[in-house]
């Protein structure tokens, strides 16, 4: 069994020698918060079918029960994002109270203007005024739900686009989007923020109306200070430098939130950190730099993934741990040494500063933080959940095929 106490003492001496304020690092790790998605706990699948899982939640209340387990073992996930209408059907006051009874809260609200048949040719980008009006009405309805739930983030993703050249008038669709977003923006209360997400393709394969961060940024800048860009790690073409996008949006004051996941090919929705942990770490190096410069306040850190084969709670814990690891490594970068190397155009020294922190085993540091948070298994949250018996108990209680996932 690993002696994390001894390893922590060794790591502490090394970091102290490098001038790292370890107490400050640990304090920041204790305040890290990542929101998990209600739809990440329910049944999911592929375009070929939904795969039913034993113990899958049957309603929004059971989704909060499962999310509370992810928070129990990591200590950083006290809120849950909801999807409307996937999570509709209960009294919202009851939902809020039940979440509170579990030590949880409601996070972002995600409208759905892509699933219904009426939206097959678009929502805010539809050629039909009545469809655009219906979409706006749903987004405004979600703002009212947010008030009841105490939610502050309206998280917007649109599937709108076209599949073939000539199918749509690209400039008119942009104008319809601008009009619809402006109408919703005008209905925001002072504490609410509109997060605008982007995606280069899928389900539209010729063009997508909000295809990249620049388009989302342009809409947000026109709308006002309460509109910000949401970055989904799966919503980029291969090779995109996401950490550069993050840095640019931080500097512009327009980075509103994240949907963390991982991809190998496209929008794969894989477990965060499972394919490219170095990319995740590099993103966090920019976020920590933004925090240090006072530019990263109020960012909504959220997971958006729903793998079809893993136990959903175990997967969520894996993702949360990956985010803890990346944040911890980014916090121990020797920033003065990095800055000096950058000023001297010493490329090798600068890269080594980044690589050194990435190569550091931060598990002893996270063990210390989780121990002080009194978590059940501070050394290994995934193991702690696996040994708890929760999954088998819920499988016996709920059975298989709850039908509370992805609208299925």
C-alpha–C-alpha distance, residues 368 and 372, integer Å: 6
Residue 372's pLDDT is 98
C-alpha–C-alpha distance, residues 102 and 105, integer Å: 9
C-alpha–C-alpha distance, residues 397 and 48, integer Å: 28
Q: What is the mean pLDDT of each run of 10 residues along the chain (408 residues)?
A: 91 97 98 97 86 94 98 98 96 98 98 97 98 98 98 98 98 98 98 98 97 98 98 98 98 98 96 98 98 97 92 97 99 98 98 98 98 98 98 96 55
Kindly list the distances between the CA atom of residue 75 and the CA atoms of 263, 298, 306, 322, in Å, as whole numbers in the listed order.
26, 19, 21, 13
Helix H or strand E segment including 21: none
CA angle 123, 126, 127 (to 5 degrees): 160
CA angle 159, 184, 38 (to 5 degrees): 55
Structure tokens at 288: 């920590």
Residue 406's pLDDT is 55
Structure tokens at 321: 């741990």
Do 160 and 125 form a contact (C-beta atoms < 8 A)?
yes
Kindly list the distances between the CA atom of residue 202 and the CA atoms of 236, 297, 406, in Å, as whole numbers in the listed order.
11, 31, 17
pTM, two decimals, is 0.97
Q: What are phi and psi of 13, to 5 degrees?
A: -65, -40
CA angle 200, 201, 206 (to 5 degrees): 110
Domains of the chain, earliest start first:
33-332 (3.20.20.150)
Residue 307's pLDDT is 80
The alpha carbon dihedral of 377, 381, 385, 386 has a sign of negative
Residue 263's pLDDT is 96
C-alpha torsion angle, residues 59, 60, 63, 67 (rounded to 10):
-170
Structure tokens at 86: 């996937």
Do 266 and 204 form a contact (C-beta atoms < 8 A)?
no
Length reported for the chain:
408
Residue 2's pLDDT is 81
Residue 46's pLDDT is 82
Nearest partner of 300 among 231, 346, 249, 353, judged by Cα: 231
Categorise residue 271: left if φ over 0, alpha if ψ from -120 to 50, beta otherwise.
beta
Residue 156's pLDDT is 98
Name the β-bridge partners of 37.
81
Residue 408's pLDDT is 40
């Amino acid at each position: 069994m690993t002696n994390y106490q001894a390893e922590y003492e060794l790591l502490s001496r090394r970091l102290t020698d490098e001038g790292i304020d370890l107490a400050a690092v640990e304090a920041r790790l204790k305040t890290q918060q990542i929101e998990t998605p209600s739809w990440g706990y329910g049944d999911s699948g592929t375009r070929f079918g939904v795969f039913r899982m034993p113990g899958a939640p049957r309603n929004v209340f059971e989704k909060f029960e499962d999310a509370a387990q992810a928070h129990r073992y990591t200590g950083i996930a006290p809120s849950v994002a909801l999807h409307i209408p996937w999570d509709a059907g209960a009294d919202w006051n009851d939902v809020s109270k039940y979440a509170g009874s579990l030590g949880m809260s409601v996070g972002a609200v995600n409208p759905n203007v892509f699933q219904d048949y009426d939206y097959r040719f678009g929502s805010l980008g539809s050629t039909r005024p009545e469809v655009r009006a219906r979409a706006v009405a749903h987004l405004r309805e979600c703002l009212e739900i947010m008030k009841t739930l105490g939610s502050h983030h309206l998280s917007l993703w649109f599937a709108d686009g076209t599949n073939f050249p000539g199918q749509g008038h690209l400039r008119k669709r942009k104008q319809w989007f601008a009009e619809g977003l402006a109408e919703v923006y005008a209905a925001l209360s002072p504490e609410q923020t509109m997060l605008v997400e982007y995606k280069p393709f899928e389900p539209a394969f010729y063009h997508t109306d909000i295809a990249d961060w620049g388009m989302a940024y342009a809409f947000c800048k026109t709308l006002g200070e309460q509109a910000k860009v949401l970055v989904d790690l799966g919503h980029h073409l291969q090779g995109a430098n996401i950490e550069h996008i993050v840095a640019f949006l931080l500097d512009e004051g327009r980075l509103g939130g994240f949907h963390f996941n991982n991809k190998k090919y496209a929008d794969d929705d894989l477990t965060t950190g499972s394919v490219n942990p170095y990319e995740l770490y590099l993103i966090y190096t920019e976020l920590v730099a933004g925090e240090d410069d006072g530019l990263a306040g109020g960012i909504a850190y959220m997971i958006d993934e729903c793998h079809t084969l893993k136990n959903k709670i175990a997967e969520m814990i894996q993702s949360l741990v990956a985010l803890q690891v990346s944040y911890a490594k980014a916090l121990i970068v020797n920033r003065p040494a990095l800055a000096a190397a950058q000023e001297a155009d010493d490329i090798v020294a600068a890269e080594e500063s980044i690589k050194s922190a990435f190569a550091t085993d931060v598990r002893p540091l996270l063990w210390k933080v989780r121990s002080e948070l009194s978590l059940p298994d501070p050394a290994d949250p995934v193991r702690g959940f696996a040994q708890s018996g929760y999954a088998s108990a819920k499988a016996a209680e709920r059975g298989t095929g709850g039908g509370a996932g992805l609208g299925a």
